[in-house]
Amino acid sequence: MIMPLVINHGGLVLKEERIVVCDEKDFAFAEALQSLGVSRNVSMLIAYLQGVKEATSREIEMATGLRQPEVSIAMRTMRENGWTLEKEIKHEGKGRPMKVYLLQISVNDIIEFFEMQKREESAKILNNISRLKDLITA
């Protein structure tokens, strides 16, 4: 879904643009990731970034309902896993550069990461159960 974003100051419209916001499908996707043990914030970022080419931190905040510190912490996790790229765009004049984020790998690759992780966890659990059975029959 696309939502208008109007930035004004003292009644004057300084900037008007449109941003993509999370819809029901995105929230369902994020909930499915959370059921695998992914944090709410990381799952929301993955769900949002899969549907846009790139996004600023501010766009992510508005689209997902996350606060700036939550976006930063979740983005750090995603960078550490090699899932996102971060680039800076300098403004004309003064001010800090704006950070823009995008997925570096496909969502399918991220899903495969969690699939492998859960398969490894399951194998360890089954191995421990088998070991317990062996110990009580010995």
Position with higher pLDDT, 77 vs 9: 77
How confident is the model at residue 118, as a pLDDT? 95
Structural contact between residues 100 and 75, judged by C-beta atoms closer than 8 angstroms: no
How confident is the model at residue 17, as a pLDDT? 63
Residue with structure tokens 């823009």? 100
pLDDT band at 7 (very low <50, low <70, confident <90, very high): very low
Question: In the predicted model, is pLDDT for residue 3 greater than 70?
Answer: no
Position with higher pLDDT, 4 vs 69: 69
129: Cα within 13 Å, side-chain hemisphere: 6
Structural contact between residues 116 and 138, judged by C-beta atoms closer than 8 angstroms: no
* Length of the chain, in residues: 138
User: What token pair was written down for 8?
Assistant: 């004004």
Give the amino acid at 138: A
Question: In the predicted model, is pLDDT for residue 5 greater than 60?
Answer: no
Give me the percent of the chain exceeding a pLDDT of 90.
62
What CA–CA distance (Å, rounded) separates 120 from 66? 31
Structural contact between residues 61 and 19, judged by C-beta atoms closer than 8 angstroms: no
How confident is the model at residue 94, as a pLDDT? 75
Segment 126-131 mean pLDDT: 96
Residue with structure tokens 């992914």? 38
